[in-house]
Amino acid sequence: MNIKIIVATHKNYWMPADSIYLPVHVGAEGKTDENGQELDLGYTKDNTGDNISAKNKNYCELTGLYWAWKNLDADYIGLAHYRRHFTLKKRGDKKQRPITRSELENLLTKNDVLLPRKRNYFIETNYSQYVHAHHEIDLTTTREIIAEKYPNYLAAYDASMKRTTGHRFNMFIMKRDKFNAYCEWLFDILFELEKRLDISTYNANDSRVFGFVSERLLDPWIETNGIKYKDIPYVFMENQNWLKKGGDFLRRKLKKK
């Protein structure tokens, strides 16, 4: 199987040695080193070929996804992050590790789409969680665009917003035909959203709006198209401060009330 999982990164970091992984420097356009020279991390850059690298501060890892869609030749294409990978860690494994080619090939003989296990907000819906963290107009404008351009997706979008669980991180592995269809739909919506939203007053985090919104669009696309998929585990390659993350979550929730 010709499988390529791009690993979105903006800095040098440990990368899996397996040939299925392709590290991609996202947001490479305009980046320079301490000598003022074009920054070269030694990875494939997302500002080659047909690209939207210059939009990285607003689109996050999606500039890498767009590059893969337009420039990468593979039968299966996926996206992971430099610190977050799909895994099938087995009993006895002492270290966290990314999924291997042989493990993936076995899964892809039975599944066209692999997704990370869903995230559960428990006390928040997908809609309220976003609104407490970002700007409500991002989602309401997205809904308007879907209603105008893709009305058959609206029911799934509304249902997804009311749930407390969803697939996140823009991580997936898809067979090429489905990958192409998803990217065409996704970027059509996001480019229209970019035209309609005024983000001139957004802070640096909220300015990543198109990356954040896209995380909420995968499930409506999957469900509307009746795509069969399999959830598999993912692993964060560094220790996380869950106390801090929980505190930040509660502060955002109380601030918005």
C-alpha radius of gyration, the chain, whole number: 18
The token duo for 161 is: 């917003």
Residue 200 above 60 pLDDT? yes
DSSP H stretches of helix in 92-208: 101-108, 126-133, 136-149, 154-162, 176-196
Please write the tens of the pLDDT for every residue from 80-95.
999 999 999 766 677 7
Q: Give the residue-averaged pLDDT of 64-88.
A: 98
Please write the tens of the pLDDT for every residue from 28-46.
999 999 999 999 999 999 9
Residue 240 above 70 pLDDT? no
Residue 172 above 90 pLDDT? yes
The token duo for 243 is: 């106390």
Question: Long-range contact list for 128-132, CB < 8 A, 24+ apart?
Answer: 130/212, 130/216, 131/256, 132/252, 132/253, 132/255, 132/256
Instruction: Report pTM.
Output: 0.92
Give the pLDDT score at 95. Answer: 77
Q: Give the residue-averaged pLDDT of 43-58.
A: 98
If pLDDT is split at 50, 70 and 90, which confidence band does 250 have?
low
Helix, strand, or coil (residue 86): strand
The token duo for 203 is: 């802070």
Helix, strand, or coil (residue 68): helix
**CATH no. for 3-256:** 3.90.550
Residue 242 above 50 pLDDT? no
Q: Is the dihedral of CA 227, 233, 239, 240 positive or negative?
A: positive
If pLDDT is split at 50, 70 and 90, which confidence band does 57 have?
very high
Residue 182 above 60 pLDDT? yes
Cβ neighbour number for residue 251 with a 10 Å cutoff = 11
H or E element: which one contains 72?
Answer: none
Q: Give the residue-averaged pLDDT of 236-254.
A: 58
Helix, strand, or coil (residue 91): coil
